[in-house]
A and B are shown apart, each in its own frame.
Chain A
Amino acid sequence: QVVLRQWGAGLLKPSETLSLTCAVYGESFSGYYWTWIRQPPGKGLEWIGEINHSGSTNYNPSLKSRVTISVDTSKNQFSLKLRSVSAADAAVYYCARKVAVRPFDYWGQGTLVTVSS
Chain B
Amino acid sequence: DTGVSQDPRHKITKRGQNVTFRCDPISEHNRLYWYRQTLGQGPEFLTYFQNEAQLEKSRLLSDRFSAERPKGSFSTLEIQRTEQGDSAMYLCASSATKTQYFGPGTRLLVL
- B is a partner of A: no
Report B's interface with A, CB cutoff 8 A. none
